[in-house]
Amino acid sequence: MARRIPAHHFRRGNIFYFRQVIPADLREHFPTRELCFSLGTEKCRTAHSKAIELSFIMSALFTQLRESPMSNEKSSTLIQMTRNASEKIRLQERHEERENALLEQLAAAYAARKSEAASHATALEQREQAHAATVAALTTTHAHTVAALTMHAAAPAKPTMRLSEAIEYVKGEKETYGKQSINSAKEYAAAYSILLQIVGDKPISGIEYQDAKEFYQKVTKLPPNINKIAKYRGKSIDEIIAMGDTPISARTAEKYLERASGLFDFLLLPNHKKASGISENPFSGISSNVRAAKNSDNAPSANKRAYSIDELRALLSHSSYTSKKFKNPYEYWLIPLALLTGARQNELCQLHLSDFIQQEDVWCINITDEEEEKKIKNKNAKRLVPIHNKLLEMGLLDYVTAMKAAGHTRLFPELKAGQKGHGDVASKWFARHRDRCAIKHEKHVTTFHALRRTFITALINNEVTSSLIAPVVGHEGQLITDKVYFDPSNAAKRKETVLDRLRDFDALIDALPHIKDITISPTRGQNFWFRGKLTGLVI
């Protein structure tokens, strides 16, 4: 059933208007038969209240005109005063001072009328008293109406999003605008999951420094892989900690902290701050304390180092090299490649044959992420690395040519892409190879990545400056000259001179067999190493 709209107001479009017909006996004082103007609202209830108030005012004005006739000019003034009163009512919906302004205007109208009636008889004074009573009643009604409107307008402040909503918001934004690998997305999701379990799904504006401190304290006590190992499933964070298993490394705990802090930093960016409704990052203080402790003189060192010559000799004199028999080509090439290019493990494992190019008459390896399956660490990792003469002497370009002739597209087609790229299988092989060579395992030290550290250390020991090393290994230049004026597209010759100064490993590489002299002996009866398509490789 449609709601009946009361008299004196009507809807035009979405806006309500006030309408008052001028009584027939007073029309001579007005230029129109009726008054009509906007009430400035779309709400029926608000329009009804305003119309009632304005009808009271108009009734009082009509009474005055009958008792004390006025000129057309004064009647127009009263009409304008009525319109002004309506405008003031509209403004009073949200501010109490505007109520006072309207009351002052009504009082001014009453004072003016009282001044004009001063010479009238006692009967007029009595009517003025009656009018005063009407105004008082109108004021009371108006005050109640404004109070009701104010209570209605004072809606509670919009609460900030909860932590779970904030996590989904950030994930969505990064998926839409960011370039994040599948593996990175999983790592961030794991950190966010632990953050949600420890802090709880509370509004993010209510997460404080103490919550961040508790998060970091508990994270440092958690064992690794709590989302993968069956015995931890269904248990709370406190229950898992109570089991007393060996906790994650300090660096892993720091990564969890970085990702939690990064979540809030993202929400504080100008484009997202309004949506998040927060003004500070509760994790920033914890991150500062962790960095300060890490950099203090008393903090334990990670003891990262390069491989010694004796360790390298052990790696390159294993029986596989002396017998010239390998199960896969990457087992022959990866250590020399890393030692003489400084490239990261995954950068080498994902190489395509088309990445071997010539620039300025210099044979180079083009490390890039142009193919969809490739991954590089950052924008600086995209680079050209000249091929060291010792790699050419080992027959690297001969191997590339033979692989192309055999119909392959990748340097090591036997390495399939895993969660972290193409280097997963090779990483496990290197760990076994290191152990077989009796090199003591030191966490974060005796890894494949240490070959990259060995390459850089050797260049520094040969007095090559960091500004020359950075573009070869894919580091950001430290000087403004390197960042702004260095043109990597014309750097093949310059980089070649850098590698010419690397002679520390010549004797070790010279002792290795040439690619033509080795034999690939795949396990489990495979034909060569790639899906049984080849029975040999002609070089």
Tokens of 96: 């109490």
pLDDT value at residue 149: 60
The neighbour count for residue 400, using CB atoms within 10 Å, is: 19
Sheet holding 15-21, edge to edge: 9-12, 15-21, 34-38
Which is more confident, 398 or 420? 398
Structure tokens at 374: 């490739």
Q: Which two tokens stand for residue 300?
A: 């334990």
- Name beta bridge partners: 519: 325
CATH superfamily of 309-520: Intergrase catalytic core (1.10.443.10)
Check residue 410 and report its DSSP letter. B
Per-domain residue ranges of the chain: 9-153, 163-295, 309-520
| Cβ atoms 384, 360 nearer than 8 A | no
Question: Is the CB of residue 163 less than 8 Å from the CB of residue 195?
Answer: yes
Grouping H, G, I as helix, E, B as strand and the rest as coil, residue 384 is strand
> Is pLDDT of 121 > 60?
no
Query: Tell me, what's the pLDDT at 512?
Result: 94
Task: Tell which residue, 497, 496, 509, 505, has the closest CA to residue 384.
Answer: 496
Instruction: Choose between 83 and 247: higher pLDDT.
Output: 247
Alpha-carbon 221 to chain mean position: 27
- pLDDT band at residue 356 under the 50/70/90 scheme: very high
pLDDT at 278 over 70: yes
Contact 472, 342 (CB under 8 A): yes
Please give the share of the chain, as a percent, with pLDDT higher than 70: 76
Question: Residue 80 has what pLDDT?
Answer: 64
Give the integer Cα–Cα distance in Å for 407 and 324: 25
Instruction: Select the more confidently predicted residue: 70 or 41.
Output: 41
Q: What is the pLDDT of residue 86?
A: 56
**Among candidate residues 471, 337, 327, the one with its CA nearest the CA of residue 397:** 337
At residue 148, φ and ψ (nearest 5 deg) are: -65, -40
d(CA 475, CA 441): 27
Q: How many beta carbons lie within 10 A of that of residue 525, not counting itself?
A: 6
Distance CA 478, CA 286 (A): 28
Between the alpha carbon of residue 65 and those of residues 31, 123, 149, the distances in Å are 15, 16, 32
Cα-Cα-Cα-Cα dihedral sign, residues 71, 72, 78, 80: negative
Look-up of token digits 């500004």: 467
Residue 197 burial (C-beta neighbours within 10 Å; 0-12, 13-18, 19+): middle
pLDDT surpasses 80 at 400: yes
Q: pLDDT tier at 364 (50, 70, 90 boundaries)? A: very high
